Amino acid sequence: MKIKRVLNHPRRQAFEVRTSRGAFAFPYDRCKPMPSMGDAVKAVSIDADTGRETFTYTLESGKTGVIHVEKVLDHNEEPAYMHEALLYRLTLDAVAKLAASPLSKREVVRRLGTSPSQLYRLLDPTNTRKSVDRMLALLRVLGCEVDIVIRPRAA
């Protein structure tokens, strides 16, 4: 995802990062080095070298920091990003379980009732077009049980 614009808001103690999914606040206290009253943000720029996926800020002291858009989306718990992160985690677990499983890929394909190419798409961590349902079905075939835990946020 590309960053369209970054604004510095010293009174709010945050950067405002605009993307195609909206505007997101990213607080100074999540930055390293952290801007402060004595060491304020002097300049902010979007990095074209990273495909506009990061921005760099420079403090009055000369220190610089770089923030990736994923860090901003994670902080704001943006739903589409959280969905992609869940799929990525399920995929990595499925790849590891398949490698340790006594089942052959052919047997996994048979039990899933799908094609080999679909199995390879499910095992591709960069494929974000797969469904959570299919990943859960794959993990079930591999002998895994997936629990969803809902708990209060830590303050």
Q: Domain locations in the chain? A: 3-75, 79-141
Say if residues 93 and 145 touch (Cβ distance below 8 Å): no
Condensed to tens digits (0 to 9), the pLDDT of residues 106-148 reads: 999 999 999 999 999 999 999 989 999 999 999 999 999 999 8
Nearest-angstrom CA–CA distance, 21 and 1: 9
Q: What pLDDT, on a 0 to 100 scale, did the predictor assign at position 76?
A: 96
Bridging pattern class, strands 64-68 and 54-59: antiparallel
What's the pLDDT score for residue 10?
Answer: 96
Low-confidence stretches of the chain (pLDDT beneath 50)? none
pLDDT of residue 154: 82
Residue 153 is predicted with a pLDDT of: 83
Q: What are the structure tokens assigned to 151, written together?
A: 């708990």
Is 129 exposed, middle or buried, given 0-12, 13-18 or 19+ CB atoms closer than 10 A?
A: exposed
